[in-house]
Amino acid sequence: MTIDHRLGSLEIARRRALWALADLQPGYARTEKMLAELDEVDQGLQDLVSGDQLSAQEFVDLITTKLHNGIQLVIEDSIP
């Protein structure tokens, strides 16, 4: 699995857990499960972007650019 794909998968999992939490009432039994999932996603993101696993070049490769009027522009949505 590429770093880009892993980042996307973790972001999808994070958003699903946040949306699920938004619908829950305080004290609801599923709340603890959703918070545990968010912790797992946060840990996965920490592991992925730690200095030991992601080189500067790999980070740069994740960012998309496009040429516009002779200037290379960064696509903001591609910044992890």
Tell me the β-bridge partners of 66.
73
pLDDT, residue 2, reads 67
pLDDT, mean over the chain? 81
Structure confidence at residue 52 (pLDDT): 57
Average pLDDT on 37-65 reads 77
| CA distances for 72 relative to 24, 52, 69, angstroms | 44, 29, 8
Dump pLDDT digits (tens) for 2-25: 666 788 888 888 888 888 888 887
CB 41, CB 58: distance < 8 Å = no
User: Confidence class of residue 71 from pLDDT cuts 50, 70 and 90?
Assistant: very high
Query: What is the distance between the alpha carbons of residues 2 and 57, in angstroms, rounded to a whole number?
Result: 14
